[in-house]
Structures are given as C-alpha cells and as structure tokens.
Structure 1
C-alpha cells in the first residue's frame, strides 16, 4: 500500500468529508476523489461510502485507515520535531478548554505566563471536555482542561492526566424562593417537589443528577433541559424552577441565589491533559504549574 493512500483514508475517517480531507492535505477535492478511486482499484474493494451527509469508510477502508492514522501521527511528530530543532516550538502553547474554566482558571494563568514569556505564541480554543483528550492525543492541542463526573476520562498511552480541582455542584434558586434565605447546606430531598432546570439527558452531569435524585427518593419534575449552565441560571432567575450548577460556573445571575449541598459526591473533577512527553513544547509544563497554582489558590 502507498503510505499516502493510507494517510488519506485516515483523514477522511477523521473529518467525515472528502473536501475536508483535501483541505488538510492542501490539495483539491478532485485530487482526493482521484486518489480514492486509484486506491480502490489497487485494493480491489470499495473503501469509501459517499453520501449527502459526507463520507464514511467501508470495513476495508476502516482497516486501512487505522494504519494511516499511525502514519499521520508519525508525520506530524516528525514535523514537530523538526520545528523544535529549528527553535520554532519553544514558545508555542495551544490550549483547549470549556467555558467555565476559560472564564475562571485560564485568565490568571495566561496572564502570569505572558509576564514570564511576552513573546509566547499562545492560542486558546473552546472545546468540549469529551474532545480534550483526543485533541491532545492527536497533537492538535498542547494542553486541554477537561471536566469529568464519573472517574477520570480514558486516555491514550502517550497522554497524561493531571488533577486540578474538585468543582462541587450547588443549588441555584430564585431569590424569592422559600429556601433562598438560609445558610445551612441543603439536602437534595428538600427539593423533591420543585420544578427543575437540568442539563440535557445523556451527558455525565445529568446522569450524576439522576442517580442522586433517585438516591434521595424522588424523580425530578423536569421543566426545561439545556446544555448550558448559563442558560439554566437565566431560567432560574425567571422563577421557572431550580437547578444544580457547578460552583465554578456560577454567574451571579440577577434574581438568583445559590446554596451549598449537604453531603459529598455531587461534583465534577477538573483535569489538565497533556502529552506524557511534552518536551517539544516546554511552555506546557510551565503553564500546567501555573494552572495548579490558580486551582489551589
């Protein structure tokens, strides 16, 4: 097999699109189509399904793409090592994180880093927690901050997790709620009769809430579901219901108050994700130390 064909199949599998694979290679979509056709002729089997929603691989294509992914990783590693040899990566740092961490953890750490290294080549992208480990493993990010609810996320062999902090869930209430004025932590069963604004069904945060409600002896009456803690707090401010929000994501939304929850368990843990060997990007270790200082400060 031509290594370039294997790498092409890996890119098609990653991007689910012939045109996106072409863009990643810096060639035209027509050139990619021709390369796929040539590979299929040489293999004697179809490798790519083309449809209105993009492209996907056949079983034969997926088998070859797995080898192509190794080639692609080695190709990018070779380019990174060459760049390091030429001194181009010593001040590079590409960070990915979700909104609450971007608002509360990153700014002090980034400010301190820029004071130490004013010429640093920094970039920050918004990324979902479930995408952080794959992005670091693939070399698209140097460091990602991710949240996990049910134990640490799975990692690849060459990726390391660094615990940063535990982020407990708190109850957000309308400021005229009967429980709004107390100071003692609330028990979840005290809210059994409330209407709830919750995270969408499916994510680990929602699964944790559903288990906790069941353990407290009730099935929550869910009035609204959202993927955003900001939206949840805005809706609580209208009086539509109550919500569980991580402490780090508290926004001080008008017409709301928050109360701590009694008992352990309802929380998420934040991790920094890096390559196990980050020697090619030395700012990664420096920034990780700064994040730890912010998290424990």
Structure 2
C-alpha cells in the first residue's frame, strides 16, 4: 500500500464541507480541475468512489460517507502531532505571539522580554484564515485575534475594541462625506462574507425583498485584504475594515470613511485551554490590563 497523502484528505473534506467542487476549490484557493484530479487520484489510491455527480449536485457515496469521520480524525491527529513537534522544537527559551495586520504587539513583546530575560520573544503575522490555527498547530503560543473566532479548546481574553471603516474608491461620491450609514452602502457590492458585516447583510436583504435593490454581481470572493482593496480601487465594490487595518493598508486610490452604525471590531488574546506556563499567564495578565480599551477614533 502507498503512503496516504493528507493533503488529498483535506481536499476530500473541503468538498464535503463546501457541498460542491467549485466552493471547495474557492476555499482551498486552487483551480477546480486541479481539485477534481486530486480527488480522482485519492479515489484510485483508496479503491473507492467517494462522490457521485448528478443533476442534483455532488453527493457522497456510501463509501465516502463511511470515511468522513476517519478522515477528520486522521487530519486532527496530524495537526496535533505537528503542534507537539513545534512546541517541543521551540523549547522553553522561545515564545511566539501571533498577530493580525494592523494590531501592534510591540508593547506586549517588549514587556514579556523584560520579565523573562532568558526567553526570546518572537512575533508571527497571521491572517483571517489562520489566526486561531497558529495556536492550534503550535506555530504560536498566543495569538492576538479579531473576533469572532471558533472558541473550542481555547481561552479567549477580550482586549480592545475599535471602529470599522468602509473602503471606497477615492473618486466615489460617498468618499467625500464626513460620515456614512449602512443604508448609504447597501446598493454597493460587499467584497467579503456578508456574515462578517451583519448590519450590511440585513439592510441589503430588506431592500432586495422589497425589490429595491439588484442581486449581487457574480465574482470570485477575494480572500485577502490586498485583493479586496484592488477590487475597491477598481470600483467593483466596498470592503469593511477595522480602523487599525485601514491605517495599515493605506493607498492613494482608496479612501476610508466612518460608518456610524457599524458595530466595533473586537480584539482578543487566545491561547490553548490546557497549556500552562508563567509566560502565558503573564501574556494573559497584559491582555487583561487592556480590556475595554477603545482603539483609535474614527471621528
């Protein structure tokens, strides 16, 4: 028997979770033909057909259904193995703080370095896709995240809140206003998951139910801030960013405006529930010292 390729198992589960090959390919950031080839290769290696395609869509076969839980277990075990290896590889003399773009962790890193002089404090830039995974897989000891995040197995320590701004093309008429409301934006295309901006989603759905707004245009969903801002600058749509991220991603063809009825973006520290150490306790203490702080002023 050949060695099992865990990457192909990931692809298999992406199709299960996404429901279609196209959604899975978009989530994995690969072309759909590549995904199809990898799935066929996995089926050949396993000697079993995992999916049936029909006019009703993509459906798991009996064999595929039977293997879903086993696949999840294998991937979870591989992640746990990597995490233990990375934690032991770093040793007690290194401590890593992950952070999202726009979030500044210099103060925490400096304070921990001063308190634990024998430990080298390092930082790691994370993203929306892996801001929690860097803790789960052992790349970081703590992570400064933007909520919401999946909380299973994690301790979440609220730290701060900050305003959220809308990114518009510099020449857009709305960009000249001192402040906006969500209702001003619902006719524009939102270039991110609508569930991440429930205020926009709810307002847009009300208009569309009443026939007062068109349905969204069909385009690949941007996965990074850089991609979103390229579309914004081209006049395709808008993006909502926390103020610190907007300050981080400044560019001459994009303007940021205050939106008065958007809920703030919350920042928190996360770490594994079961991991205990003096330096993790100290990081939590520093996070608690900032709890309730309002970052920046969008006015």
**TM-score bin (small chain):** 0.5 to 0.7
**Residue of structure 1 in register with 2:28 after alignment:** none
8 Å CA contact retained: 1:172, 1:245: yes
Answering whether residue 151 of structure 2 is matched by residue 154 of structure 1, we say yes
* Shift in CA distance, 76/260, structure 1 to aligned 2, threshold 3 Å: closer
**Residue of structure 2 in register with 1:21 after alignment:** none
1:275 aligned to which of 264, 272, 275: 272
Counterpart Cα distance in 1 of 2:269 and 2:286: 11
8 Å CA contact retained: 1:174, 1:238: yes
2:181 aligned to which of 187, 198, 204: 187
Answering whether residue 205 of structure 2 is matched by residue 214 of structure 1, we say yes
Alpha-carbon displacement from aligned partner over 1:104-158 (angstroms, at most 9, x marks no partner): 3223332343344454233434444454445534555321233334xx52312xx
Alpha-carbon displacement from aligned partner over 1:203-251 (angstroms, at most 9, x marks no partner): 8426764334224664564476411223323443344443322323202
**Residue of structure 1 in register with 2:196 after alignment:** 205
**Residue of structure 2 in register with 1:247 after alignment:** 243
Question: Larger radius of gyration, structure 1 or 2?
Answer: 1
**Residue of structure 2 in register with 1:237 after alignment:** 233
The alignment's C-alpha RMSD in Å is 4.6
8 Å CA contact retained: 2:124, 2:140: no
Question: Deviation of residue 254 (structure 1)?
Answer: 0.7
8 Å CA contact retained: 2:157, 2:288: no
- Give the structure-2-normalised TM-score: 0.58
- Structure 2: gaps spanning 5 or more residues: 10-38, 47-62
8 Å CA contact retained: 1:168, 1:246: yes
Alpha-carbon displacement from aligned partner over 1:142-196 (angstroms, at most 9, x marks no partner): 21233334xx52312xx3111123344322222332222222x312222344x43
Counterpart Cα distance in 2 of 1:65 and 1:242: 36
Classify the secondary structure of the residue corresponding to 1:196.
Answer: coil
8 Å CA contact retained: 2:95, 2:120: yes
**Residue of structure 2 in register with 1:40 after alignment:** none
* Shift in CA distance, 220/253, structure 1 to aligned 2, threshold 3 Å: farther
Classify the secondary structure of the residue corresponding to 2:191.
Answer: strand
* Shift in CA distance, 74/247, structure 1 to aligned 2, threshold 3 Å: closer
**Residue of structure 1 in register with 2:256 after alignment:** 258
Question: Deviation of residue 284 (structure 1)?
Answer: 1.9
- Structure 1: gaps spanning 5 or more residues: 1-8, 18-49
8 Å CA contact retained: 1:170, 1:258: yes
Counterpart Cα distance in 1 of 2:86 and 2:231: 49
